[in-house]
């Protein structure tokens, strides 16, 4: 029997698919430092973002035949090394796109109406300074008619664009690779479909002209948005990073927030996960979530089903 360690969990439907296909699935988490010994009992491992599968772990587990990543990024897996060892590496890039895109807009709406700060202060000051807080949050803005710059126009970027179009925003998009600027927007439960073309832009154009910027690119060796880029942005710009920690220079971001160059930032990912720097955690102009972009019931079910199908297909070859 093929044994699979779902070390960061797997949706029950995906687990049942695997068990029905004759696989043994272990869902109890094994701590990272114990994996070099205990993973040797398994033929495959599935992870999300918490567990790391590096070269040393791969070398310690000669029976390993497959690594599955429930989600998009594979930054926590030494993919090329694994493939060179003949190990199959799979991820589920399409399954979580909508959930991530919806979190982007949860954060955009939060920023323009100061919900992040209001939710901190109302419980403490709402009973004594209600009118002061009402005045402090009286200068919200609407998203309609504003320009959203999407950096990275893959599956998630395209889902973000669809929501933005529905809200009435002007969308400009950049990607390292050539892309189709046309997106299909489905209206309501009736399924009416409308094709809309977004404007292609350079990264520099987005940095200089967008009212809101959201990042959806793979991990890179240095920050994509640093002090120089922040200084070139429109004063009062709002930034969203629900992609990869390290894409924004966090210390430069804090300086830009303190100066007013950036009016708001929303971060779901951080430089030092799982221990983000305190200056980020306590900043009043930052809305925070703990790396939950794909953490919806619907996305996790889709991820589990897709991952199970990939694993079954791999071992059926």
Task: Determine phi and psi for 231, rounding to 5 degrees.
Answer: -65, -25
Q: Which two tokens stand for residue 147?
A: 């320009």
Q: Pick the catalytic residue from 116, 291, 302, 306.
A: 291
Please give the Cα distance from 196 to 315 (Å, whole number).
41
Q: Assess contact for 241 and 212: CB atoms under 8 A.
A: no
Q: Is 273 a catalytic residue?
A: yes
Give 275's Cβ-side CA count (13 Å radius).
0
Question: How would you list the strands of the sheet with 212-215, edge to edge?
Answer: 199-200, 170-174, 147-151, 212-215, 237-241, 262-267, 286-288
Active site residue 48: no
Q: Tell me the C-alpha distance between 60 and 236, whole Å.
A: 50
Of these residues, 244, 250, 302, 306, which one is catalytic? Answer: 244
> Is 244 known to be catalytic?
yes
Instruction: Look up residue 54 and give its DSSP letter.
Output: -
**Type and span of the H or E element at 237:** strand 237-241
Please say whether the dihedral angle defined by the alpha carbons of residues 160, 166, 169 and 170, taken in this order, is positive or negative.
positive
- Which are the catalytic amino acids? 244, 273, 291
């Amino acid at each position: 029997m093929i044994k699979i360690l779902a070390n960061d969990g797997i949706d029950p439907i995906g687990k049942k698919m695997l068990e029905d296909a004759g696989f043994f699935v272990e869902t109890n988490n094994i701590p990272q430092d114990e994996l070099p010994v205990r993973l040797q009992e398994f033929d495959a491992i599935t992870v999300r973002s918490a567990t790391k599968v590096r070269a040393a772990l791969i070398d310690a587990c000669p029976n390993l035949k497959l690594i599955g990543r429930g989600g998009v990024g594979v930054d926590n897996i030494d993919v090329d090394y694994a493939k060179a060892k003949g190990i199959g590496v799979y991820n589920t890039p399409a399954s979580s796109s909508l959930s991530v895109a919806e979190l982007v807009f949860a954060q955009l709406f939060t920023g323009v109406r100061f919900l992040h700060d209001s939710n901190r202060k109302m419980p403490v000051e709402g009973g004594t300074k209600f009118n002061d807080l009402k005045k402090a949050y009286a200068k919200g803005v609407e998203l309609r008619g504003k320009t959203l710059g999407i950096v990275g126009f893959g599956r998630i970027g395209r889902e973000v664009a669809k929501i933005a179009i529905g809200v009435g925003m002007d969308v400009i998009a950049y990607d390292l690779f050539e892309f189709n600027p046309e997106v299909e927007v489905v209206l309501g439960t009736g399924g009416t479909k409308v094709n809309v073309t977004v404007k292609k832009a350079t990264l520099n154009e987005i940095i200089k002209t967008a009212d809101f910027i959201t990042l959806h690119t793979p991990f890179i060796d240095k920050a994509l948005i640093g002090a120089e880029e922040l200084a070139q942005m429109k004063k009062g710009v709002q930034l969203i990073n629900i992609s990869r920690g390290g894409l924004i220079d966090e210390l430069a971001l804090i300086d830009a927030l303190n100066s007013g160059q950036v009016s708001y930032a929303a971060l779901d990912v951080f430089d030092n996960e799982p221990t983000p720097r305190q200056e980020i955690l306590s900043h009043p102009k930052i809305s925070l979530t703990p790396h939950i972009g794909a953490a919806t019931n619907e996305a996790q079910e889709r991820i589990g089903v897709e991952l199970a199908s990939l694993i079954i297909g791999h071992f059926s070859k």
